[in-house]
A and B are shown apart, each in its own frame.
Chain A
Amino acid sequence: AQSVTQLGSHVSVSEGALVLLRCNYSSSVPPYLFWYVQYPNQGLQLLLKYTTGATLVKGINGFEAEFKKSETSFHLTKPSAHMSDAAEYFCAVSVGRSGGSNYKLTFGKGTLLTVNP
Chain B
Amino acid sequence: NAGVTQTPKFRVLKTGQSMTLLCAQDMNHEYMYWYRQDPGMGLRLIHYSVGEGTTAKGEVPDGYNVSRLKKQNFLLGLESAAPSQTSVYFCASKWGGQGKGEQYFGPGTRLTVT
Contact = CB atoms under 8 A, between A and B. Distances in A.
A90 B43 contact: yes
A100 B50 CA distance: 10
A25 interface: no
A35 to B, nearest CB: 11
B100 A110 contact: no
A104 B100 CA distance: 10
Given A42-B107, A43-B106, A100-B56, A94 B40 contact: no
Size range of the chain A interface in the assembly: 20 to 34
Interface residues of B, number: 26
B99 A95 contact: yes
Contacts of A105: 45, 103
Interface in B76-112: 90, 92, 94, 97-100, 102-103, 105-108
Interface of B: 4, 31, 33, 40-45, 48, 50, 56, 58, 90, 92, 94, 97-100, 102-103, 105-108
The 10 A-B pairs at the shortest CB distance, nearest first, are namely A96-B99, A43-B105, A94-B99, A51-B100, A109-B42, A107-B42, A44-B105, A107-B43, A32-B100, A32-B99
Interface of A: 9, 31-32, 34, 36, 41-46, 49, 51-52, 90, 94-97, 100, 102-105, 107-110
